[in-house]
Amino acid sequence: MKEIRAEEYFSIGFELGKKQYWTIFFNFLIYTVLAVVASITIVGLLIVPAILIGLIKSMLKAARGEKIEIGDSLSEGFQNGLWWKGLLFGIIYTVGVAIGIMLLIAPGLYLATVWLLGIYLLVDKGMLPTEALGKSRELVHELGFWKIFAVHIGISLVTQIASFIPGLSLALLFLLPFIMMIYIAIYENAIDNSLADSEQEKLKEISEDADFEDEI
C-alpha cells in the first residue's frame, strides 16, 4: 500500500481509463442497459448484481493491462457463487447505509465510505459478503478514511449535480469510464497491487517538472 494523495487517485484513474477507453465505455453501456431492462421485473432485479459483477471483472482486467473485448466477462457474475454473494452483498450494503442515513446521516456516510471496497474484494478475492465488508473497512482506514471519504463524496456530489443539468449529464456519460477507474485505483492500491506504480511515477515526474518550472 503506497501513500497516494486524494487528488492523485483522479489522475491515476484517468490514466487507467484512457488505455482501453472505448471498449470500457461500450461495456459500461451494455451492462447499464441490461441492468435497467432486468430491473423491470422482480426476477430481473435478482440478476442485476451478477451484471454488475461482470462489469467489475472487466474493469479489473482492463486496469491490470489485460486486453478486454466488448461484452467481456458478461457471464462471470453467474459463476462460482458470485451471483448469490453479490445479491446478499447488495442487500446488506443498501440496508446498512440506508439505516445509517436515517440515523442523523453521518453513520450512513461512514458506512458508504468504509464499505467502498467491499464489492471489489468479493469479486476479485471471492470473499463472502460480511468478510468483504469487514476487510473493506480495515483497508479504508489504512488508506486514510478522510482521504477516501473526500474522493468518494466529491465524485458523488459532482455526478449528482451533473445528472440534473442536460449538457453536463451527457458529458458525465463519457467520463464514467474514468470515474469507475478512480475506484479501481483505490482498490488496487489497497491490496498492494503494483499496477498504479507506473502511473504514480508519471505523476511524480509531472509534479517535479512543475516545481522546477516554478523555481525558475
The per-residue pLDDT for 199 is 54
In a domain, 151, yes or no: yes
Q: Return the higher-pLDDT residue of 215 and 190.
A: 190
pLDDT in tens, 102-122: 988 899 999 999 999 999 999
> Residue 187 above 80 pLDDT?
yes
Nearest to 187 by CA among 131, 128, 142: 142
HSE-CB for 149 with a 13 A CA cutoff: 13
Residue 104, judged by CB atoms within 10 A of its CB (0-12, 13-18, 19+), counts as exposed
- Residue 206 is predicted with a pLDDT of 41
Q: 67 — phi, psi (to 5°)?
A: -75, 125
Q: Which three cell numbers stand for residue 6?
A: 486524494
Cα(66)–Cα(27) distance, integer angstroms:
15
Note whether residue 126 is domain-resident: yes
Q: Count the residues in the chain.
A: 216
Range of the domain at 72: 13-208
Residue at 195 is within a domain: yes
* Range with the largest mean pLDDT of 101-110, 176-185, 186-195: 176-185
3-state SS string for 68-83: CCCCCCCCHHHCCCHH
Distance CA 83, CA 21 (A): 27
Yes or no: say if 140 and 120 are a contact pair by the CB < 8 Å rule: no
* pLDDT of residue 205 exceeding 70: no
Is 192 part of any domain? yes
Instruction: Specify if 216 maps to a domain.
Output: no
- In a domain? residue 215: no
User: Model confidence over 108-163: pLDDT tens digits?
Assistant: 999 999 999 999 999 999 999 999 999 999 999 999 999 999 999 999 998 888 88
The answer to whether residue 4 is domain-embedded is no
Q: Is residue 41 part of a domain?
A: yes
SS3 letters across 78-102: HCCCHHHHHHHHHHHHHHHHHHHHH
CB 96 within 8 A of CB 111: yes
- Provide the number of structural domains found in the chain: 1
Report the pLDDT value the prediction gives residue 198, as an integer from 0 to 100: 53
Read off the DSSP letter of residue 195.
Answer: G
Q: Which of 130, 179, 118 is nearest to 152 (CA)?
A: 179
Q: What is the pTM of this model?
A: 0.86
Residue 194 pLDDT > 70: no
Collapse the DSSP code of 126 into the 3-class scheme (helix H, G, I; strand E, B; otherwise coil) and give the result.
coil
pLDDT over threshold 90, residue 17: yes
